[in-house]
Structure 1
Amino acid sequence: MEFDKPVIGGPCWAELGTTDLEAAQRFYTEVFGWRAEPDPRQELRGYAIAFVGEAAVAGLGPLYRPSQPVAWNVSFAVADAETATNKVTDAGGTVIRGPLEVLDEGRLTVALDPSGAAFQMWQAGQFAGAGLFNAPGSLGWVELATRDIKRARDFYTEVFGWSVNASEWYTQWGMHGGEFGGMTRIGDRYPPDMPPHWLPYFAVEDVDATTGVAVTAGARTLLEPSSVADGPRIAVLRDPQGAAFGVYQAGQEG
């Protein structure tokens, strides 16, 4: 990711929704060295902020409805949640929740793109998003997996104004001349019932070592550590509660 702070239109936060907050905090603390601090406000139901040093890097929260899958969710920064939410519906997406006030922290919208991939939009109040990107333990790349590349490209460029750098094999998303994420087609290497989704990648010092720690802590490996042609070394894992996430070698971000 070629940004070092939240940028309007770009990813600003990664947030886990899980069935076991305490277990998730133990797992990710072991894997990334995070320090998790639960928010004491009852309205947030134990939501915890994960820190690397003094910088907030991710959120760990409960599921808010029975149908919500255990998953990592990616939030994109917007200047005005109302306007952005209207753009989602105009472009063919579906609004699940919001815009809603999250105390004095900001305004949140949860939405689905036309293929059904969930994402979030965040209008900053007192909280702008992650305070660190690309460093070990922090968010460094976000990737959409979908079966309809063209429709997804049309949708996200209309909603967020992203630039597109596409090859035959991969699409990269950008803002203001900097790239922050990509898009891949759900094909034969995915399970047949795999739904479209956004996947966050966190930077680590050593992909192979982190994968080993995660597996020992109860994770499953979905993509073994491997080096991407002209790209970073990566792996994709599923945590003990079922949420998928990626890791990549710090210093090799796009």
Structure 2
Amino acid sequence: MEMRRNTQRTYPEGVTSWIDVEHRDLTAAGEFYGELFGWTFLEAGGEGPEYLVAQLNGQDVAGLAESADVAGPGSGNWNTYVAVDDADRAAARVTAAGGRVVLPPATAGDGGRVALCEDPGGVPFRLREAGTRPGAQLTNAPGTWNFSDLHAAEPGAADFYTAVFGWDVSDAGFGAMIRRPGYGDHLAATVDPGIHERQASMHAPPGFADAIGWLIPAAAGERPGWHVTFTVADRDDTAAAVERLGGTVVATEDTGWTRTAVVRDPQGAAFTASQFTPPAN
């Protein structure tokens, strides 16, 4: 499922575009993810805490940030950013829809302008008005970002995001799919010209080309939030590597389309490693 890349990947407003994680020990975080996913790192410019742009095959895939405040909004976990054309206007929509702007839009080096927000349920997320780095340039390949899913306590939790970003949440038969209408056409016109035909051949659910994530009921005792999934070549090999590198395997699951492992890195940030195993046609 590696995406063909014939131009710089861009993200329309309302599409999740970037992920990063904040840790006290940035060196240790880089060692863990570099070994696990084969990432290399570039230091990003700008003032403030140290920030590393993770790359795979020379393409931006994620960020690692130094944070002395692991109790801050979203810190200590993987953060999900939503692309916006104008961070100030988007922040105003967040407030109008009942959310909260924790830190107003500010310049974040060559990443553009960023705002830290919370939805009405207190779930943190971030706005990103792209700068010279538009967002993740390689996705859905082993070692890269697959989806960010909203683990929600209430079935109507996505109503806020629909008001702010124009999302559509629909029943795909095996889960609630979060779509940004028109995103598939944007991909077809830019970095993935064969997306519609490929997904049709795999009998993907209608509208899957527009999918940016899934709405998942939070498990008992789970804190609602955005949860990041990475694509891996082999779930079991990745789970074994996580443990060898000092992380923890929380749970594994096999479905008709994926083999997954929920894990925590050595500093406690949770994510899912997902091996794509589609049914035979």
TM-score of the two chains, using structure 1 as the length reference: 0.89
Partners of 1:74 and 1:11 in 2: how far apart?
7
* 1:156 is aligned to 2:131: no
- The residue number in structure 1 matching 2:49 is 45
- Check whether the contact 1:116–1:195 (CA below 8 A) recurs between aligned residues: no
Deviation at 1:45, TM superposition (A): 2.6
- The residue number in structure 2 matching 1:183 is 215
- Check whether the contact 1:110–1:118 (CA below 8 A) recurs between aligned residues: yes
Deviation at 1:206, TM superposition (A): 0.7
- The residue number in structure 2 matching 1:240 is 266
- The residue number in structure 2 matching 1:213 is 241
Deviations along 1:66-97, one digit per CA (max 9) or x if unpaired, are 52241110111111111111111111111111
Partners of 2:173 and 2:111 in 1: how far apart?
41
- Check whether the contact 1:140–1:180 (CA below 8 A) recurs between aligned residues: no
Aligned length: 244
Partners of 2:55 and 2:173 in 1: how far apart?
38
Change (3 A) 1:51 1:29: same
Deviation at 1:234, TM superposition (A): 1.3
- Check whether the contact 1:2–1:180 (CA below 8 A) recurs between aligned residues: no
Which ranges in structure 2 are unaligned for 5 or more consecutive residues? 183-206
- Check whether the contact 2:20–2:65 (CA below 8 A) recurs between aligned residues: yes
Greater alpha carbon shift after TM alignment, 25-34 vs 95-104: 95-104
Give the partner amino acid of 1:205.
A
Give the partner amino acid of 2:100.
T
- The residue number in structure 1 matching 2:89 is 83
Give the partner amino acid of 2:235.
V
Deviation at 1:7, TM superposition (A): 3.2
SS in 1 for 2:47: helix
Give the partner amino acid of 2:261.
A
Q: Percent identity?
A: 34
SS in 1 for 2:31: helix
Partners of 2:102 and 2:274 in 1: how far apart?
31
- Check whether the contact 1:93–1:113 (CA below 8 A) recurs between aligned residues: yes
* 1:204 is aligned to 2:208: no
- Give the structure with the higher percent strand: 1
- The residue number in structure 1 matching 2:200 is none
Partners of 1:3 and 1:111 in 2: how far apart?
30
Deviations along 1:194-251, one digit per CA (max 9) or x if unpaired, are 3211011111111111111011111111222x222x4322111111101001111147
Partners of 1:209 and 1:23 in 2: how far apart?
21
- Check whether the contact 2:167–2:178 (CA below 8 A) recurs between aligned residues: yes
Deviation at 1:101, TM superposition (A): 1.5
Give the partner amino acid of 1:158.
A
* 1:142 is aligned to 2:148: yes
Kindly report the root-mean-square deviation, in angstroms, between the aligned alpha carbons of the 2 structures.
Answer: 2.1
Give the partner amino acid of 1:61.
A
Where do 1:94-133 residues align within 5 Å?
94-133=100-139
Partners of 2:251 and 2:243 in 1: how far apart?
12
Q: Which protein has the larger Cα radius of gyration, Structure 1 or Structure 2? A: 2
Partners of 2:274 and 2:130 in 1: how far apart?
28
- The residue number in structure 2 matching 1:62 is 66
Deviation at 1:105, TM superposition (A): 3.5
Change (3 A) 1:50 1:198: same
Where do 1:24-35 residues align within 5 Å?
24-35=29-40
